[in-house]
């Protein structure tokens, strides 16, 4: 049946007539929405909206993450025909998932960007739809968290990253991908006591009260025990999951702006993302995929896998809530 469908399906991003179900069109052809979901701005009947934020004007080293959403969408076409591996349900068949397209903003008016992004996400949340965001540099999580905190109150943050991104910065108007979680804690939109950062391997003495499970600890105790500890910290509070692709070691994700050795393996990432099923996740993003620094495309593939697992985590929560 799949082969027969592949012979006639094309450009499912525009031609599919159902928001649910797999797509069997040729992986190397057609319009590359995320997982071949329908491109639409209509949120009626939608459970999860995938949206891109092609922004990289906050980086401290190498740019290029503005091209991340496009690359992740292209890489995701490899996964579109099959249910995500290792789950006891098919999120693509059970839930209405769309590609909401990208945020529109004026690249020459950077000061207006944060509010534009917060409003973009708020529009999704106001329709009772969850968002999975494809970045973009990691600064974008801060304006996104503002929208989520407005809906849920101070939120728990689950961050996979090489860096804490809590370097001190009391200028709320500065746009910097290394200081935004300092501001998120300082302004009260993130609850540090029930938040956790995983995979950290750079020095920042002030943790802002956030719980840290660094990369060495993950390697020594393993991903299963790590997830147990994460769940103990999060409890059942509403949680936003942000995955910086540099949480992975550069051997697995070289295409990023600030690579750091000693990171997580892709196998550890897969185990942890699947074992996190049951957390009260309300939204998520994957950020810092910078295609110009990876001619193999492996980083975008990793980003697409992470984003798919994020859909599964949201679907799992929706099934059980």
Identify the CA nearest to 283 among candidates 317, 319, 232.
317
pLDDT in tens, 246-287: 999 999 999 999 999 999 999 999 999 999 999 999 999 999
Asked if residue 120 belongs to a known ligand binding site, the reply is no
Q: Nearest 10 degrees: CA dihedral of 16, 47, 157, 84?
A: -50
Asked if residue 244 belongs to a known ligand binding site, the reply is yes
Identify the CA nearest to 202 among candidates 248, 161, 245.
161
pLDDT of residue 96: 98
Q: Give the residue numbers spanning the domain of 288.
A: 2-320
Other C-beta atoms closer than 10 Å to the C-beta of 78 total 14
C-alpha distance from residue 234 to each of 159, 243, 282 (Å): 12, 16, 13
pLDDT in tens, 97-116: 999 999 999 999 999 999 99
The structural domain count of the chain equals 1
Asked if residue 163 belongs to a known ligand binding site, the reply is yes
pLDDT of residue 27: 87
Residues of the chain with pLDDT under 50: none
pLDDT of residue 80: 87
> In this structure, are residues 203 and 241 in contact, taking their beta carbons and an 8 Å threshold?
no
CA distance 13 to 318: 24
Asked if residue 138 belongs to a known ligand binding site, the reply is yes
CA distance 77 to 91: 16
C-alpha distance from residue 173 to each of 60, 142, 180 (Å): 16, 12, 11
Q: Residue 119: which CATH number?
A: 3.40.800.10
pTM of the model: 0.96
Asked if residue 165 belongs to a known ligand binding site, the reply is yes
pLDDT of residue 26: 86
pLDDT of residue 321: 84
């Amino acid at each position: 049946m799949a082969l027969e469908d592949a012979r006639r399906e094309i450009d499912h991003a525009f031609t599919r007539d159902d928001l649910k179900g797999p797509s069997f069109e040729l992986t190397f052809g057609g319009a590359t929405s995320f997982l071949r979901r329908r491109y639409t701005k209509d949120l009626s009947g939608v459970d999860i909206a995938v949206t891109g934020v092609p922004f990289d004007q906050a980086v401290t080293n190498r740019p290029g993450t503005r091209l991340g959403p496009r690359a992740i969408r292209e890489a995701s076409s490899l996964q579109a025909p099959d249910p995500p591996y290792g789950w006891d349900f098919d999120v693509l068949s059970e839930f209405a998932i769309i590609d909401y397209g990208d945020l529109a903003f004026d690249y020459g008016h950077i000061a207006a960007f944060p509010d534009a992004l917060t409003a973009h996400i708020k529009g999704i949340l106001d329709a009772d739809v969850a968002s999975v965001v494809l970045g973009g540099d990691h600064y974008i999580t801060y304006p996104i968290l503002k929208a989520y905190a407005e809906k849920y109150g101070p939120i728990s943050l689950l961050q996979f990253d090489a860096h804490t991104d809590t370097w001190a910065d009391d200028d709320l108007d500065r746009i910097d991908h290394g200081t935004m979680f300092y501001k998120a804690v300082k302004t009260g939109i993130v609850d540090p006591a029930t938040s956790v950062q995983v995979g950290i391997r750079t020095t920042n003495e002030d943790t802002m009260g956030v719980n840290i499970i660094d990369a060495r600890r993950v390697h020594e105790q393993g991903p299963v025990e790590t997830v147990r500890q994460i769940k103990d910290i999060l409890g059942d509070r509403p949680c936003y999951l942000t995955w910086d692709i540099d949480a992975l070691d550069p051997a697995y994700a070289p295409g990023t702006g600030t690579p750091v050795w000693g990171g997580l393996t892709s196998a550890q990432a897969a185990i942890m993302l699947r074992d996190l099923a049951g957390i009260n996740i309300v939204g998520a993003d994957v950020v810092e995929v910078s295609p110009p620094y990876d001619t193999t495309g492996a980083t975008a593939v990793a980003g697409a896998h992470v984003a798919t697992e994020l859909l599964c985590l949201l679907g799992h929560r929706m099934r059980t809530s």
